[in-house]
Amino acid sequence: MSPEQSDSYPGGGPVRLLLGNEAIAQGLFEAGCRLAAAYPGTPSTEVLEALPAYGALDLHLEWSVNEKVALETASAASYCGLRTAAVMKQVGLNVAMDPLMSLAYTGVVGGLLLIVADDPGPYSSQTEQDTRFLAMTAKVPVLDPAPPEQAREMVHTGYRISEKYRIPVILRPVLRVCHSRAPISGLRKREKGKDASFVRDVNRWAATPSFRYHLHEELNYKIHSVLKDPDVVSSYTLSDASVSNAPFAIVASGLPAAYAADILSQSGMENEIPLLCVGVPFPLDKGRITSMLDGCGRLLVLEETGALMETLLGGYFDIFGRFDGTVPSAGEMTPDTVARALAKLLPEKGLVEETYTVSQVEEEQDEKAVTVPPTLCPGCSHRASFWALKKAMPGGIYTGDIGCYTLGISLGTVDTVLCMGASISQAAGFFWSQLKKDETPVPIAAVIGDSTFYHSGIPALLNAVQQGAAFVLLILDNGMSAMTGGQPSPASGLLAGGGHGVPVPMEEAIAGCGVKHIKICDPLDSDSMVGVVEDAAQVAGEGEMVVIISRSPCALIHTEQLGPRPVVDHEVCNECRICTDSFGCPALVWEDEGLTITPVLCTGCAACVQSCPIEAIMVREL
């Protein structure tokens, strides 16, 4: 890539209504990012997805097989002086923690931005963990944006800090930043980066423990120096309210700062309660905060999701926050939480408003107000796979994994969900737990999706086989990461930036793990699927590992009608409700005339036919 080519990326264009993630992608493009590697995960996925549209030929994009690989790949490009990004959700950082801890020591050359999206709530995650604490553990700066426009600015800030101090920088948007839209001004001209050049420095890039000690000292110096950086200093902003007369001051970072600003101004209190917003919560400049708030001894600390600033400011101020219960210690922070926290400290202000009551309607609605939980989509082949599993291996222990198929819980075929890949290791653990018993062992089946299998199932399978564990592993292969919107799996060979790489077939990976029995079947062909699982259970019972690849495309992405819609024979139907209670396809509903199949929802997969024990649901050939 020659510098001249960069000039073909002019700035300008209209203001666009962008998602926070898209605003971050725009920032990456503008800042001249040359490599972005990600593993999909809500709420981070759209960052990488938004990048191909910019058409930057000098930008390598990839859906890496997992987050650790994404960060490691980005680190080497950064060693070469290029601006790089690794993008993931908060639990993905757990997987990438190994390279991050070490990368903080080696440092970087080209700016390295680690974009980690947190999910307070949680809405689509196993934990509510606060990435800022992991930044503190690794001793790297973390930027905490509030609105999308700030997230885009912080991409630029993050790169400046990363390159100036040669340190990886974390940008930590929370879900409400990633998935909210705001007007974002037109493109800035893409920055020209350096050409890639790797300068050998063995004592840094391949440092042995004695050099690691020196790198640790260097890291301590860097993280201390960052506090004096003009970008970091200017990230501390104090509102106009007088500090000395205030009953307390608010110190806030991220979205809670925006909630506080809205509430103070809407309640006409912006001149009464000082609000100090912190853009870089780690490293935190306690000296700057104490001097900015000189004369005010009491603080309300508002931050998401843990108590990072509250911990760091303890001893300097009397603090209202999570530790004294002013702010709840779990769940998403919302304007309501902030208003309630303020109301506890300012009871006379009437900050928690009465909400609307619509005569008697509300009462009536309250009875109806059962929040509907998510379910597998109509026509989802996972439902058919789970049904076959339940039929062929009743009474088994079913270890589950992370993906849409976690929703198999409602079919009674998911007993455990721990983290990515754990279905396989936990199945092995259950297998070894049963060896000591004299009773007949309970059959064990692990269920994992294709992307999750590639992500971290492969080492688990290799380990289980090598140790001699035996169970049925059912891989639900729809060819993509379906929950996050259909990113291609390695089996497809499709690349994030478009074009084709080299497909890595799942069967070959499984065989490479030492598995002798591999079956491939179509879950929508229910009779043969049940037979395959029964045979597999028998082989596993004899002490051999069996892998079944249950292969069928995602119904959400492939929306074409699969066949004629089944019909219900109301003469035969005895309303046992197994089809709706146990099978549970959303297309099956009870109307006044009995069971009906909703035309707009039914995909014609006909998997429901097998769910009826008395053949009241059938497909009539046209």
Q: List residues binding another protein (CB under 8 A).
A: 15, 17, 19, 42-43, 45-46, 123-124, 146-147, 176, 179-183, 255, 258-259, 261-263, 265-268, 334-336, 338-339, 350, 352-356, 358-359, 361-362, 365-366, 368-377, 404, 406-407, 483-485, 586, 600
| Amino acid letter, residue 173 | P
Q: Which is nearer to another protein, 69 or 182 (CB)?
A: 182
Nearest distance from residue 379's CB to another protein, in Å?
Answer: 12
Spatial separation of the C-alpha atoms in residues 497 and 71, rounded to whole Å: 18
Q: Which is nearer to another protein, 244 or 359 (CB)?
A: 359
DSSP string, 249-305: EEEEESHHHHHHHHHHHHTT-TTTS-EEEES--BS--HHHHHHHTTT--EEEEE-SS
Q: Are 565 and 602 in contact (CB under 8 A)?
A: yes
For 146, the token pair is: 């509030």
Phi and psi, residue 289, nearest 5°? -65, -45
Beta bridge partners of 112: 84
Nearest distance from residue 93's CB to another protein, in Å?
Answer: 17
Q: Residue 222's closest CA among 287, 150, 162?
A: 162
Burial of 591 (0-12, 13-18, 19+ CB in 10 A): exposed
Rg (CA), the chain: 27
Output the CA torsion sign for 469, 472, 477, 481: negative
Q: Which is nearer to another protein, 225 or 334 (CB)?
A: 334
Nearest distance from residue 20's CB to another protein, in Å?
Answer: 9
Nearest distance from residue 232's CB to another protein, in Å?
Answer: 21
Nearest distance from residue 148's CB to another protein, in Å?
Answer: 8
Q: Are 100 and 141 in contact (CB under 8 A)?
A: no
Q: Which is nearer to another protein, 536 or 579 (CB)?
A: 579
Spatial separation of the C-alpha atoms in residues 291 and 287, rounded to whole Å: 6
> What is the distance of C-alpha 231 from the center of its chain?
28
Reported as half-sphere exposure (CB side, CA atoms, 13 A), residue 358 has a value of 6
Q: Which is nearer to another protein, 186 or 501 (CB)?
A: 186
Nearest distance from residue 265's CB to another protein, in Å?
Answer: 8
Q: Which is nearer to another protein, 25 or 407 (CB)?
A: 407
Q: Which is nearer to another protein, 40 or 158 (CB)?
A: 40
Nearest distance from residue 355's CB to another protein, in Å?
Answer: 5
Nearest distance from residue 233's CB to another protein, in Å?
Answer: 22
Nearest distance from residue 352's CB to another protein, in Å?
Answer: 8
Q: Which is nearer to another protein, 82 or 174 (CB)?
A: 174
Taking each helix axis from N to C terminus, what angle separates 209-226 and 148-165, rounded to the nearest 10 degrees? 130
Q: Are 67 and 75 in contact (CB under 8 A)?
A: no
Q: Which is nearer to another protein, 237 or 245 (CB)?
A: 237
Q: Which is nearer to another protein, 414 or 461 (CB)?
A: 414
Burial of 552 (0-12, 13-18, 19+ CB in 10 A): buried
Q: Which is nearer to another protein, 115 or 469 (CB)?
A: 115
Q: Are 428 and 467 in contact (CB under 8 A)?
A: yes
**What is Dmax (Cα atoms) for the chain?**
83
Q: What is the DSSP letter of 347?
A: G
Beta bridge partners of 458: none
Nearest distance from residue 549's CB to another protein, in Å?
Answer: 23
Nearest distance from residue 249's CB to another protein, in Å?
Answer: 18
Q: Are 66 and 38 in contact (CB under 8 A)?
A: no
